[in-house]
Structure 1
């Protein structure tokens, strides 16, 4: 099923955007108006659709910049919901919390959803879709939320806002545990990362297609959007073979991904615009830090060099 009718948008390039720079991170230090403006001017003209993960201070500034600077972006805005249940299977041991914390988290999540609704109504001409959460149901998550809770949040959003509603998750849960959620949302949003599943660059694109069609063929009556797909440029060897990552491999995968998405008419959000040094472990080669098409200093990686060959941050 074609996403353009459900979302009332035209085909276009899409990318995940999080603007945290060196020394910044969510909850502590946020990018300034001018820093976000600088980022969006870099992205403007190359991407039409942006995905934002949370309705936090960062997203509020992004929406303000788009409106005040009259930039040509449409936004998928999410609410980042946190753990409501312990996940003892989290591989890095981050999925267990005291009962009191889980109870407070439920209140936090409800308030986050309410804020998502407020922003959706404040910026109806910019925000084209809404997400009730991100990677909160997959077996390895450190912020596990039961499917029943996600369904309740989707219903809250639908009652309070007019934009189409989704939930962003790894492709695997959509094949089984998220089936009850499918009829509640307007479109399905999947994540696919071949390099995390030990695929090399020669296997990557076919594996991405397999992931996509495994979900799309299961639910032919629902549009399926890819809200994350990308290729990191460094790895410390934990989970991703360092031999499988480089700027050259990223360029190959992103170009193949974008070309296929255009031909197949699939809305695909590339992960992600800029490297984020706050993510993951403190190791410099931590793969979570290096998915950007631009480095953390905003210099373009190989995949973008042909468009920004004369770019200089000092200008």
Structure 2
């Protein structure tokens, strides 16, 4: 499927510059590049990643997503994710709230569990539409496995920088244990007003996000700044960020930053906005608490600044993830308190 020709990102909107990190240098253990990654992850918590080697699979995932979204709604709803806190499967536009008033979201997406990718051709968590299963061998499984490998490389770097014993973060993100890790292909309709949030201000549930955009719309709220700023998509570059789980495990050293998605700016607003992302999340049984007993660096950070000890209340990764997914669902809404129950480490930091 050829990449569509799209209008350029406008040059008259505020953008936030991100460091460009070279994945090939990270794999080669280049210390200067590792230090640059660490600087990005402990400040804004966002960075670009180039030379990741997954572009072919990303383009294939976009094609899969387009084919899936063109299915009749009746067919897509056979694979709906449901209201019990599970994320895997199809989500229709309007199924989630984007604010405390219960305003419905505008995006539809298909989520494919990491566990199903690694178990294929067996089923681990659930089944998917034929548009997904027909591409599992050629596109979906390679995307999941390559994305997992990239995020595992980054986790290994953070493990060392945090002064943790070897493989601690690797074990907490074991391929063998079921988790909330998933590939997500997202469609947002064209022609929406700028005020219509696609995805509300939030921090990500998990540890690392590996995102691919063709159009603008992603915005960050940098620490200490009260104006939302766009993150400009760069061809061939992923946008990566730290999520809540890794922020908690690191005692707040790694930063899970608030972000949101609105319609694309300028002429880009007249086009459908597609995103492709892979979320790496800890194993379901992992307790979300600072790893202070395993790292004097984390222990020292928590002692010096208790506010950085982002408290997940002793929840497991499964409980944290399931609570946030479940309480976003419109059908589970009882009032503003439902929205508050869907929030993460951004609480009190907006």
TM score, norm. by length of structure 1: 0.28
TM-score (norm 2): 0.26
